[in-house]
Amino acid sequence: METTIDRFGRVLIPKKVRDDLGLRPGTALKVEELGRAVRLSPLTEETVLADEGGILVFTGRIGGDVGATLVDVREDRLDTLMGGSPR
């Protein structure tokens, strides 16, 4: 597939490519220079939940100390079950 740069520096992305990637007018694109190549990537939020057999599954990246958070949540639940108040 081929396209050209117009006199204003604009590039027309072919309709089939726009449709395949879901690009619409106003879609923000990331421009990367890779040696003598240019890569355009849509700046869209990554979907972090996927439906797998009717169950939502987290597919994103986890940040922070997950282990410590789980310990805190478990301790709070145990405190609540024992009649205390959460921390």
Let me know whether 19 and 54 are in one domain. no
Q: What is the pLDDT of residue 58?
A: 84
pLDDT for the residue numbered 7 = 94
* Alpha helices in 1-87, H assignment, sequence order: 15-21, 66-81
Question: For position 45, what pLDDT does the model report?
Answer: 64
Number of compact structural domains in the chain: 2
Q: List pLDDT tens digits, range 44-81.
A: 766 677 888 999 888 777 777 888 889 999 999 998 89
Q: Does residue 63 belong to any structural domain of this protein?
A: yes
Residue 11 predicted with pLDDT over 80: yes
Any domain includes 72: yes
Quick one: average pLDDT of 1-8? Answer: 91
Q: How far apart are CA 15 and CA 43, in angstroms?
A: 19
Domain region containing 21: 1-44
